[in-house]
Chains A and B, each alone.
Chain A
Amino acid sequence: MSDSRWKLPGLASKLLFPVEVKPLFENYETESFFDEAFEPGGDRCRASYEGAASYFREMTPDRMQASLRSLERTFLKQGVTFTVYSDGQGTERIFPFDPFPRIIPHEEWSVIDAGLRQRIKALNMFLADIYSDRRILKEGIVPDYLVKTSKHNRAEFSGLKLPHDTYIHICGSDLIRDDQGRYCVLEDNGRCPSGVSYMLENRVAMKRTFPDLYRKMNVERVSPYPRELLKTLKAVSPRQQDDPVCVLLTPGQYNSAYFEHTFLAQQMGIEIVEGRDLTVENERVYMHTTQGLVQVDVIYRRIDDDFLDPHFFRRDSTLGVPDLMKAYRAGNVSLVNAIGTGVADDKATYAYVPDMIRFYLGEDAILPNIETFLGSRDDDLKYMLENVENIVIKAVDEAGGYGMLIGPASTKEECEDFRRRVKANPRGYIGQPVISLSRHPTFCDDNLEGRHVDLRPFVLTGEKTVVIPGGLTRVALRKGSLVVNSSQGGGSKDTWVLRDPSQSNAS
């Protein structure tokens, strides 16, 4: 665990930052990877990074040390934590945070912004289509059986008319950069994407700790996110005449993302509710208050479909609200995201997104997909089985870095195991070439080293689409690791999208 000293401490272990701090770029190696901050070879800094690089280079060890301590205190005291249950105690840990910000120049961001808008538009049209006219299936663009066999397909909810035809109101697509520096979409998270509170808290902490650097860089704001989210929720309320009642439905305070739930509810000024706070009568949803029942219009739910209604989905769910689906079907309550968006999350569906964009919008995808082999296609399957050792295999319905195999980094047994699994259930797996994610300077021990990163921007869609300029940059803290998920030893960075220099005075 060479990098453990740089992590923010878990509350129990009280690991601290190293005593000696020399954040210099001595011996910084870009190796064969695309580096976010340095030109190939590692000698010259990219223009957008010059300010930050010289800032950290010139900072005295004392000052740096003090800055890191202040960061650490901020996160600890605020309780910006997630819960790890492995030790039986439910220890709270801080999402490891790296203070070197990821910087995205304005021109690069405009492309990402346009690409995300295009993609969410197509995804929402796709969901509205497969749950109504099924045009794209009838015309054979996306195979019918693929949708039918998707684990999260909710055909029983077909024919509902949702406000603005929006299914995915909140989307967190994961972007990566390949060895050429091209931004590609790795996957779409259209169910309950999380992490946005870290984006917001990281920014608060960075502004507090390195205000001089931040001011100099002219960075786009991420703070409007909660306001935009509330607007999105209100926009899809079934009762448009009044000020609609929006709530955030959480599994409860022992959920690992509970901090994020309270954070967002607080920022939006809406109630955070648990399933037991809600009740359904006459196909309407009410919450129990000290003054009696109050009708609820929009539920921002942070619970998967399966657990939402024990009378409809999983009977053993104690998190949900009995008969919630009756109210939803009757159109008396909106769910954000809607029921059935999981089809778009399916990693096999992902492969067809460029086709959807062409079909619905008549455009080429601005942000390309990663080349993907589908177990459900015979040729692809053959290729996958022959190349398990050389590619990445992923289960179509898993997330969080689970259910995947990185061939070159796995043992013979692991590869054989996946070969068996793929053979047994070809529809359930996809294959992708190993992408060497871009790297970013990251504080490791007493120096900066390159670590692999990805980017999760957040896209909101109610009546119209809003892309927040920024996002959560996740970083694989373990040397050489390509897995950035927090459950697998990942950390995060603040993401600074630079303002258009030509318009800097206008804002």
Chain B
Amino acid sequence: MLSRVAENLYWMSRYIERADNLARLVTAHQNELLDATSSLTGDEHDWHPLLEVTSMGDEESEEGVVTYMVSSQKNPDSILNCVHNARENARAVRDQISEEMWLELNSLWLDLKGIKDTDPNRHQTICEMTMQSSLMFLGIAESSLPRTDIWAFVKLGSYIERADKTSRIVDLPHFLPQFEKDSAWNTMLRACSATAEHRHRFGGEVGSASASGLLLFSATFPRSVRYCVCQMDELLHRISGTNLGDYLNEAERETGALLARLNFAGVEEIGELGLHDYVDSIQTDLNEIGWAIAQRYFLLRKDAPPASAEEYVTSRMHAQHQQQQ
């Protein structure tokens, strides 16, 4: 497969997964805020934790945090821009993916663009449509893609993005005031579609240990960080043809190392480091893995490749943002 094609497939699914997770976060948080005491004041401040965990930084524009996260043109990682980027990446590989996958992304983009600025439910509608459509997209991929490298790079993009986002969702309580921390775990579980699984395994009581344990270390829950990293490990080995447990390149080595860490860890160990620093270290590892994948599979061309992970991510974001202008 062409390197560029692999790169487009990977970013296509990363972006749709990113849009999906942002939509989940916004929706779940909104739900939680309705019950929070401070919601009576309608304080914009309540939304800032979302900016923190998504690393979108301090948004000081007058648009407001929700607009910035959902539909802003200026924010390269707003849901709308993520969907746009997913679609542009898909367009570049239309000949590789199934017709239905393209139709789903193209329709989503056209539909989102069709929602009027004046629609009072605009943000909610964007979130709902995005979540719905990304599930459709994954389902179509599942049932229409051949199990070749095409499939592997699509899934690789999904899982690395999902691992990163789940780890960020787990980090959300860190940014909340003390009295809201406990109830926030409901939000986390809901954002990860994990409410039922948690109830099934731990009963009705939602606590930080059980919830974060589930989202980080479950070997069977498909949105847990460990599950995602495990899938990445398998996909990377499938692509290179290496036996599981061995490694042929840096991406496989780093993924294996992170997986081992997650396989043999438990909530107890987090205590020493603190949850925030722990998920931070996971995110750092995931960034390194992303960079290793790019170096091994995408950046083989002669034209000066980016020198670092940061430069690579910004250059891709920049290129896409620019094309859109």
Which residues of A does B touch, CB under 8 Å? 11, 14, 76-79, 90, 253-254, 258, 262-263, 265-266, 271-274, 276-277, 279, 287-291
Whether a CB of chain A sits under 8 angstroms from the CB of B32 is no
B2 touches A273 (CB 8 A): yes
| Residue on A nearest B323 in the bound complex, by CB | A254
Could you say which of A79, A271, A287 contacts B102, with CB atoms under 8 Å apart? A79
Could you say which of B102, B239, B302, B323 contacts A290, with CB atoms under 8 Å apart? B239
Can you list 30 residue pairs at the A/B interface with Cβ under 8 Å? A11-B110, A11-B113, A76-B110, A77-B106, A78-B103, A79-B102, A253-B91, A253-B92, A254-B323, A262-B94, A262-B95, A263-B95, A265-B95, A266-B95, A273-B2, A273-B4, A276-B4, A277-B2, A277-B3, A277-B4, A277-B301, A287-B2, A288-B300, A289-B1, A289-B2, A290-B3, A290-B6, A290-B149, A290-B239, A290-B297
Report how far A76 CA is from B4 CA in the complex, Å: 27
Report how far A480 CA is from B95 CA in the complex, Å: 39
Could you say which of A77, A253, A254, A276 contacts B301, with CB atoms under 8 Å apart? A276
Shortest beta-carbon distance from B203 to chain A in Å: 46
Shortest beta-carbon distance from A478 to chain B in Å: 28
Chain B residue numbers with a CB within 8 Å of A276 are 4, 301, 303
Shortest beta-carbon distance from A155 to chain B in Å: 31
Chain B residue numbers with a CB within 8 Å of A291 are 1
Chain B residue numbers with a CB within 8 Å of A11 are 110, 113
Could you say which of A79, A253, A263, A289 contacts B3, with CB atoms under 8 Å apart? A289
Whether a CB of chain A sits under 8 angstroms from the CB of B233 is no
Whether a CB of chain A sits under 8 angstroms from the CB of B308 is no
| Residue on A nearest B324 in the bound complex, by CB | A90
A274 touches B6 (CB 8 A): no
Size category of the B interface is: 20 to 34
Mark out the residues of chain B between 271 and 320 whose CB falls within 8 Å of any chain A CB in the assembled complex.
297, 300-303
Report how far A273 CA is from B301 CA in the complex, Å: 13
Whether a CB of chain A sits under 8 angstroms from the CB of B242 is no
B94 touches A266 (CB 8 A): yes
B3 touches A288 (CB 8 A): yes
Report how far A274 CA is from B3 CA in the complex, Å: 11
| Residue on A nearest B103 in the bound complex, by CB | A77
Shortest beta-carbon distance from B243 to chain A in Å: 18
Chain B residue numbers with a CB within 8 Å of A90 are 323
Report how far A272 CA is from B8 CA in the complex, Å: 13
Could you say which of A14, A77, A253, A271 contacts B2, with CB atoms under 8 Å apart? A271
Whether a CB of chain A sits under 8 angstroms from the CB of B17 is no
Closest 8 CB pairs of A and B: A266-B95, A262-B94, A288-B3, A265-B95, A253-B92, A288-B300, A262-B95, A290-B297
Could you say which of B94, B110, B114, B301 contacts A288, with CB atoms under 8 Å apart? B301
